[in-house]
Structure 1
Amino acid sequence: MSEEGHGILEGAVAPQVNPHLFGHADAEDFLARFYRSGRSHHAILIEGPEGIGKATLAFRFANHVLSHPEPASAPERLGDPDPNTPVSRQIASGASHNLLHLTRPVDEKTGKAKTAITVDEVRRAGHFFSQTSGTGNWRIVIIDPADDLNRNAANAILKILEEPPKRALFLVLSHAPGRLLPTIRSRCLPLKLSPLSRPDLAKALTSLGLAPDGGRTSEDVLTEAAGSVSQALKLLNYGGTEIVAAFNEVLQSSGPAARRAMHRLADVLSAKDNDVIFGFFLDHLREHLVERARAAAFAGDLAGADRASRLSSEIGERIGISQAYNLDRKQTILSLLEDVTR
């Protein structure tokens, strides 16, 4: 499940301790069989949209491997981790000497996660592998997600992947594998996960106490979440449903009414400590523009398709510039909305 900085989204369960995984039985069976065969690859690229269970799968597989260090005697299936075993307790507390979770570090000044996984974090992996495992067990690194590696960090990981230590396993998570260095992708075994089906998404939300028959998980939420638990949580617990409605109001209005709707939406998105819903809106905006480009292309409006596609690809760059120069977030949002509605 997606993380809010280094905290977990409200209503979610940390993947290290999550006892449930929905919708990926085939991937679990593949990993269990592949490991038991003794021919397991040293790096597995687990790819798919954000919030569908990639990290939960990675920790379940890590638990399986560390609990059964000899492949030939490992079970043929990945079972639910037993929270009472030493391996599970160590993984849950972050105290395992055989598992390293690489993710964006916290900025000590702001208390928030940095924008990238830095080379200093990757150096931790080098130190991790240089230490002799007291048990002779596997040593596993989960990179979560590798999309956040900056250039130096990516190159440092690549060097380790090129000459992996004995009994080392990398579980490389990616929301958008096309952004990774081709040389990193080429050294990994790809394992693609699909968005959750509506029934599986409903089961996942039910396990979090958001039962569909309880009234909160409407059909609209299941549709808008597009198979992602983290998107559903943002819709339900962070006001995402209201943000989508406000954006639709902007699109459907014109003149002064549209301008007022833009300002109302921008005020909400630019509020202090509203980073989760701001990120949700940017994702929603990108999806809207991608769909607009696709519809324009099918209609033969190539100029419209090109414009929507370019706007979608520019969002990240424009937000990055805004953050780098500490520009007013509200003005940045208004600029984006004005471009989208032209």
Structure 2
Amino acid sequence: MSDAVAGVLDGAIPPQNNTVLFGHEEAEQFLARFYHSGRSHHAILIEGPEGIGKATLAFRFANHVLSHPDPAAAPLELAVPDPSSSVSRQIASGASHNLLHLTRPVDEKTGKVKTAITVDEVRRAGHFFSQTSGTGNWRVVIIDPADDLNRNAANAILKILEEPPKRSLFLVLSHAPGRLLPTIRSRCLPLKLSPLKAESLSAALANLGVALDGGRTAEEVLQLANGSVSQALKLLNYGGTEIIAAFNDVLSAEGPGARRAMHRLGDVLAGKDNEVIFTFFLGHLTEYLEGRARSLALSGELAQADRLSRLASDVTERITVSQAYNLDRKQTILSLLEDVAR
């Protein structure tokens, strides 16, 4: 399945089709017991780094709720979804009348995934709740992730959260909850997921047919992935390790050699079909700058630390401006690399 069309990385399983979840047993047990208690909150904020299983957990919990509409009769554990059940088949095919998955839509003109969840998508939730459920079942909305809501869409979601319909459940996913509207966060029950440990990450990759057989490459992938399956797939299937190596060449080179290294990296990242690896690089660049800023601050070099911290904060804004005004991507990348090199 193409990542440009469906938003799913090469080698990954769409979360609505994924029946296997690794490393989040405590969160699964919490959700099952909280639902069984009958005190389940109408909105749960499932937060944690990208690619650790938040969406898979959300779909698994939605399957549990829709399969057991009476909380008191629901099991105390989330069972592995049965692909042959009617609920699972409907969820997997996107045909469930009781579940709505709000994510970035595909632009019909370009065939590419849009950069944000728009207010038009949120309006689908209003229509979704206006339809009377023939079964009297719960209505579940998965916002995946809420970080992608633009301002108008976020305000529209907030209005629904303020007066939620009866028997409604919102599963709000977030990679960076601190960036969400405080009013959205305040109306959600937070559930924080941690990055996967090496054993769970290896098991998750093995489930996708990716075997890490030990050695330097496996160790490097596990270290650079930071407990994220999606990061590991970007490293392995999208050339992420080569991009990091090229970035390190930029940092270590001097004079004309540094300029040549910048241009080589810029040419790769500016490719039209390299959206996934471009986003991967921006994340790596931001993490590098934030890490360097912390190190400099601890060593007492506060002015330099402040400069790098500001640059880390500016990365996303500069890319957004570049896209908004259709500026040359390579020149934007070169500008960022030059600032980092200085």
Sort the TM-score into its range (normalised by shorter chain). Answer: over 0.9
Q: What do residues 5-24 of structure 1 show as CA deviations (whole Å, max 9, x unaligned)?
A: 62310110000010111110
- Asked if structure 2 preserves the Cα contact closer than 8 Å seen for 1:102 and 1:141, the reply is yes
- The runs of 5 or more residues in structure 1 that have no matched partner are none
Q: What do residues 97-124 of structure 1 show as CA deviations (whole Å, max 9, x unaligned)?
A: 0000001111111111111111111111
Q: Does 1:239 align with 2:273?
A: no
Q: Name the counterpart of 2:295.
A: 295
Q: Name the counterpart of 2:218.
A: 218
Aligned-pair identity in percent equals: 79
Instruction: Describe the SS at the equivalent of 2:213.
Output: helix
The code of the aligned residue for 2:222 comes to: L
- Within 5 Å, which residues of 2 pair with 1:128-277? 128-213=128-213, 218-277=218-277
> Could you tell me how far apart the structure 1 residues matched to 2:320 and 2:216 are?
34
Number of residue equivalences: 340
- Asked if structure 2 preserves the Cα contact closer than 8 Å seen for 1:48 and 1:194, the reply is yes
> Could you tell me how far apart the structure 2 residues matched to 1:5 and 1:160 are?
29
- Asked if structure 1 preserves the Cα contact closer than 8 Å seen for 2:7 and 2:113, the reply is no
Q: What do residues 48-67 of structure 1 show as CA deviations (whole Å, max 9, x unaligned)?
A: 00000000000000000000
Q: Name the counterpart of 1:34.
A: 34
Q: Does 1:67 align with 2:67?
A: yes
- 1:223 Cα deviation from its structure 2 partner: 0.2
> Could you tell me how far apart the structure 2 residues matched to 1:162 and 1:195 are?
31
- Within 5 Å, which residues of 2 pair with 1:43-54? 43-54=43-54
The code of the aligned residue for 2:331 comes to: Q
- 1:73 Cα deviation from its structure 2 partner: 0.7
- Asked if structure 1 preserves the Cα contact closer than 8 Å seen for 2:22 and 2:203, the reply is yes
Q: Name the counterpart of 2:6.
A: 6
> Could you tell me how far apart the structure 1 residues matched to 2:61 and 2:174 are?
16
TM-score between both structures, scaled by the size of structure 2? 0.98
Q: Name the counterpart of 1:285.
A: 285
Q: Does 1:307 align with 2:285?
A: no
Q: Name the counterpart of 1:340.
A: 340
TM-score between both structures, scaled by the size of structure 1? 0.98
Instruction: Describe the SS at the equivalent of 1:212.
Output: coil
> Could you tell me how far apart the structure 1 residues matched to 2:82 and 2:111 are?
33
> Could you tell me how far apart the structure 1 residues matched to 2:200 and 2:58 are?
19
> Could you tell me how far apart the structure 1 residues matched to 2:25 and 2:121 are?
32
* Structure 1 residue ranges (4+ consecutive) displaced by more than 3 angstroms after TM superposition: 214-217
- The runs of 5 or more residues in structure 2 that have no matched partner are none
- Aligned CA distance change for structure 1 residues 216 and 298 (closer, same or farther; 3 Å): closer
- Aligned CA distance change for structure 1 residues 28 and 217 (closer, same or farther; 3 Å): farther
> Could you tell me how far apart the structure 2 residues matched to 1:81 and 1:310 are?
45
> Could you tell me how far apart the structure 2 residues matched to 1:158 and 1:7 are?
25
- 1:216 Cα deviation from its structure 2 partner: 9.4
What's the C-alpha RMSD, in Å, of the aligned pairs? 1.1
> Could you tell me how far apart the structure 2 residues matched to 1:333 and 1:154 are?
30
The code of the aligned residue for 1:321 comes to: V
The code of the aligned residue for 2:15 comes to: P
The code of the aligned residue for 2:16 comes to: Q
- 1:307 Cα deviation from its structure 2 partner: 0.7
- Asked if structure 2 preserves the Cα contact closer than 8 Å seen for 1:210 and 1:217, the reply is no
The code of the aligned residue for 1:248 comes to: N
Moved more, 102-111 or 206-215: 206-215
> Could you tell me how far apart the structure 1 residues matched to 2:177 and 2:151 are?
15
> Could you tell me how far apart the structure 2 residues matched to 1:147 and 1:218 are?
31
The code of the aligned residue for 1:327 comes to: L
Q: Name the counterpart of 1:90.
A: 90
Q: What do residues 54-93 of structure 1 show as CA deviations (whole Å, max 9, x unaligned)?
A: 0000000000000011001111101110000000000000
Q: Name the counterpart of 1:325.
A: 325
> Could you tell me how far apart the structure 2 residues matched to 1:303 and 1:49 are?
29
> Could you tell me how far apart the structure 2 residues matched to 1:75 and 1:221 are?
37
- Aligned CA distance change for structure 1 residues 167 and 216 (closer, same or farther; 3 Å): farther
